[in-house]
Structure 1
Amino acid sequence: MLDIRRLHMLKTVVARGSIAAAAQSLALSAGAVSQQLAALRREVGVDLLRPDGRTVALTEAGRVLVEHADRILGAVQEAESAVAAVKGTVGATATLAALPSTVARIVAPALTSLASLHPQLTVTCLVTDQAQLRELPLGTVDVVLGQRYHHLPDDTPRGVDAYRLLDDPLLIVTAADRAGERPVSLRELATHHLVVPPPTTDCGQAVLHACGQAGFTPSTPYVTTDIAAQITLARAGLATALIPRMAIDPTAAGIRTSLIEDHPIHRLLFAATRHTDTANPTTTAVIAALRTAAHDGRSTLLPPT
């Protein structure tokens, strides 16, 4: 009989591209993963992986086995959810991956609420600029708090359910004495120095896309994904920032925020989990807490706009 853990290792190696990367993801040594894959190869009697430059690729037999592994591991997850639903209780552990820009106004309040409502639940929170949906099918995380900018297509992977939390507009952030209390046309920023994320990021692409629609190429002498740094530069009057509303501390002093009255830039914040036919009480509780925190955070006052 095939070992489920070895099937999961094979799937992880394929997703990560190498045995070393898979081992790091699984918190194992590369030697341990290699040994388990060698045992799996002996079980099936045929090579499953082949070298592909600096990475590895599936053989035809490996591809067939991974297709079945997806269904087998999915059935195991379905069984776990069904048993949890029968028990009707929230479990002991969950792993949440979230963007840094969501921690202060969504993640922290949600975790505080979960600690009060479900004290037996320990949530491990992985804060990363790239909250990857692909981690869900691998079982690395249970819930992802992710984003999608509105100019980009929906790339939710098969086998993942995404739940809308809120639309989060980017606000124009300047020094408190540099802007009036009114919405601002994006075109007005054509003469500003902007601080923006790198153009390789979704947010950086969204800003460049909107500025192009407004008819100009922005001056971007400052490039960083660090929102605290963006706000510091804006507060000093050195640059104008475009920052998601939910990423701005409502208590931040020395800045003014303004809505974009034309060519608005929005990101959709969502919570995602692996698809199962039976809802898992633990992931359901985590998503419910994120929804409540997102709703409450949206109504929190910001510096004058």
Structure 2
Amino acid sequence: MLDVRRLYMLKTVAARGSITAAAHSLALTAGAVSQQLAALRNDVGVDLLRPDGRTVALTEAGRVLLEHADRILAAMEEAESAIAAVKGTVGAAATLSALPSTVTGIVAPALTKLGSYHPQLTVTCLITDQAQLRELALGTVDVVLGQRYHHLPDATPRGVDLAPLLDDPLLVVTAADQGDGRPVMLRELATRDLAVPPPTTDCGQAILQGCRRVGFTPVPRYITADISAQLTLARAGLAAALVPRTAIDPTTPGIRTSPIADHPIQRLLFAATRHTENTNPTTAAVTAALRTAAEENQAACRLSAFGE
């Protein structure tokens, strides 16, 4: 009989691209992973992996076995969710992956509320903008607070459920003594010095494609994914920054924010979980806390916009 742990190792190696990377994510040595994969190879009697430059790739037999492994692992999670649903109680641990730009406005308030509602639940939070949904599919995280820009293709993987939280537009941030706060036409940024994230990030790519839609390719003066650095540059009058609304504290002194009037660059923030037929009370509790925090953040932004 095939060992489920070895099937999961095969899935992890296929996703990570190398035994070393898989071992690191599994908190094992490369030798231990190689040994288990060799045992799996002996179980099935055919090679499952082949060298591919500095990485490894699945053989045809490996691809076939991985397809079955995905179904087996999904069935196991379905069984765990079904039992959790019968118990009806929130568990003791969960792992949340969240974007850095959501920590202040959503994550911190959500975890604070979650701690008061479910004190027995310990949430480990991974703050990163790298491959969050892949980590969800691999089972290394339970809930993802992620993003999708409306004008970019949807790349949600199979087997993932998305719960929309809020639409979050990028605002143009400048020094408080620059501009008048009126909505900005996106084309106006063609002549401005800009502080934007690298184009390798989701936000950077969204800005690049958004500007190209209106006829220009931005040439940034400052490139950084650090939102606090972008705001500092804007406050100093050195550049205009494009920053998600939820990442901006409306009481921050020295800056002015303006919406984009004609072609808004807007992201959908969502809570993502692995698809199961039965609702898991623990991931449902985390998702509910994120939704409440997002709604409160949106309400606070509306009040700030109206100067109340």
Greater shift, 77-86 or 260-269, is seen at 260-269
What are the residue-to-residue correspondences of 1:184-263 with 2, within 5 Å?
A: 184-263=184-263
Identity of aligned residues (%): 76
3-state secondary structure, aligned to 2:152: coil
TM-score, with length taken from structure 2:
0.95
3-state secondary structure, aligned to 2:125: strand
Report the Cα distance in structure 2 between the residues aligned to 1:194 and 1:111, rounded to whole angstroms. 34
Q: CA deviation at 1:144?
A: 0.8
Instruction: List gaps (5 residues or longer) in structure 2.
Output: none
What are the residue-to-residue correspondences of 1:125-164 with 2, within 5 Å?
A: 125-164=125-164
Q: CA deviation at 1:303?
A: 8.0
Q: CA deviation at 1:131?
A: 4.6
Q: CA deviation at 1:213?
A: 2.7
Report the Cα distance in structure 2 between the residues aligned to 1:216 and 1:73, rounded to whole angstroms. 47
Greater shift, 37-46 or 81-90, is seen at 37-46
Report the Cα distance in structure 2 between the residues aligned to 1:166 and 1:294, rounded to whole angstroms. 7
Report the Cα distance in structure 2 between the residues aligned to 1:93 and 1:204, rounded to whole angstroms. 34
Report the Cα distance in structure 2 between the residues aligned to 1:3 and 1:194, rounded to whole angstroms. 54
Q: CA deviation at 1:304?
A: 8.5
3-state secondary structure, aligned to 1:82: helix
Q: CA deviation at 1:300?
A: 1.8
Q: CA deviation at 1:28?
A: 0.8
Greater shift, 179-188 or 273-282, is seen at 179-188
Greater shift, 43-52 or 78-87, is seen at 43-52
Pair 1:214–1:82, CA change in 2 (3 A): same
Pair 1:164–1:189, CA change in 2 (3 A): same
Q: CA deviation at 1:215?
A: 3.0
Query: What does residue 59 of structure 1 align with?
Result: 59
Q: CA deviation at 1:250?
A: 2.6
Report the Cα distance in structure 2 between the residues aligned to 1:64 and 1:225, rounded to whole angstroms. 39
Query: What does residue 293 of structure 2 align with?
Result: 293
Q: Does the 8 Å contact 1:194/1:219 carry over to 2?
A: yes
Query: What does residue 80 of structure 1 align with?
Result: 80
TM-score, with length taken from structure 1:
0.96
What are the residue-to-residue correspondences of 1:67-106 with 2, within 5 Å?
A: 67-106=67-106
RMSD: 1.5
* Total equivalences in the alignment: 305
Greater shift, 56-65 or 287-296, is seen at 56-65
Q: Does the 8 Å contact 1:253/1:303 carry over to 2?
A: no
Instruction: List gaps (5 residues or longer) in structure 1.
Output: none
Q: CA deviation at 1:58?
A: 1.4
Pair 1:173–1:304, CA change in 2 (3 A): farther
Matched, 1:264 2:275: no
Q: Does the 8 Å contact 1:131/1:145 carry over to 2?
A: no
Query: What does residue 111 of structure 2 align with?
Result: 111
What one-letter code is carried by the residue in structure 2 that aligns with 1:54? Answer: R
